[in-house]
Amino acid sequence: MAVSEQGTLSSVRTFGRPASLPRIVPLLACPGPMPLPRDDRDHPRAAAFRAFIRETGFPCVGAKAALSRGRMRVLVARSVTSAWDDMRIYPALLAFAARYRARPDTFQSLAVVFEDPCTLSEAAFERHLWERLQSLADKDAWLGHAWDERVAPDPDNPHFSLSFGGEAFFVVGLHPGASRPARRFSSPALVFNPHRQFESLREAGRYERLRASIVQRDVALSGSANPMLARHGEVSEARQYSGRAVDEGWRCPFRPRTDQQAAGTRTAGGTDGR
């Protein structure tokens, strides 16, 4: 697969191979908002994902709004089980975070849709989801980005969210083997939603009404409410990312890297290999 990108981001991948990590450092020196990667609009996987969101019964009205307003970016990658395209996904996240920070309109998402359908069990998908997220977070730490102060980096903390480029994100995983229909897409996908937009909805008094609408639609689609659904601050949102129902004994495999660990890796002149 060869997906063209615009501007600065085009240098991240050369002749179809992932570039070395230092090649993305110039992205951080951009004086204005970084250019977003062009939507993979004509890719069959991107078209299928948009059609999935547009389905009448799909419960997330926020995703529908983002798509209808042209605020859902779609990036197509190879496989959720491989680090091959992590060096395309991470710069896209940085660019998306910078653009969102410059214009924090409600209902914006970056969707990473994987070409390889690779039907996985829910446990296997969860493992690969966290492998990809760990890889992306390690790169963020390597470049010295601070964690968004509005959220916690500890996945056991009720205020946990991921952070890329200093912007917090809530992640929604979808895949063919998902038990809940709302998460059952024909190939794996990771949707990155800025945490700040949920807080903006709360401040505007719109969050609870939106949440109730989504829950009602999900019950109509699935026959029951999602048992993992929880408000931010009640329990760690990490439990919701993969879509798998987990028990109280579940422990998130994600480990945020400390500033000292990231500095040590840079001094050693390499990365963690992902």
Confidence of residue 30 (pLDDT cuts 50, 70, 90): very low
Q: Which of the two residues, 97 and 15, has the higher pLDDT score?
A: 97
pLDDT of residue 34: 53
Confidence of residue 22 (pLDDT cuts 50, 70, 90): very low
Lowest mean pLDDT among 25-39, 41-55, 161-175: 25-39
Which residue spans within 134-262 are E strands per DSSP?
162-164, 167-174, 189-194
- Percent of the chain past pLDDT 90, that is, above it, reads 73
Strand order in the sheet with 162-164: 72-77, 109-114, 189-194, 167-174, 162-164
Confidence of residue 264 (pLDDT cuts 50, 70, 90): very low
- Residues for the chain: how many in total? 274
Confidence of residue 271 (pLDDT cuts 50, 70, 90): very low
The predicted-structure confidence for 82-127, as pLDDT tens digits, reads as follows: 999 999 999 999 999 999 999 998 899 999 999 998 889 999 999 9
Given a cut of 80, whether residue 14 has pLDDT beyond it is: no
What's the rounded Cα separation, in Å, for the pair 17 and 80? Answer: 17
Mean pLDDT over residues 172-198, rounded?
97
What's the rounded Cα separation, in Å, for the pair 218 and 6? Answer: 37
The predicted-structure confidence for 153-180, as pLDDT tens digits, reads as follows: 999 999 999 999 999 999 999 999 999 9
pTM here is 0.82
Q: Strand pairing of 13-14 and 189-194?
A: unpaired
The predicted-structure confidence for 62-86, as pLDDT tens digits, reads as follows: 999 999 999 999 999 999 999 999 9
Mean pLDDT over residues 137-150, rounded?
96
Longest dimension (CA), the chain: 54
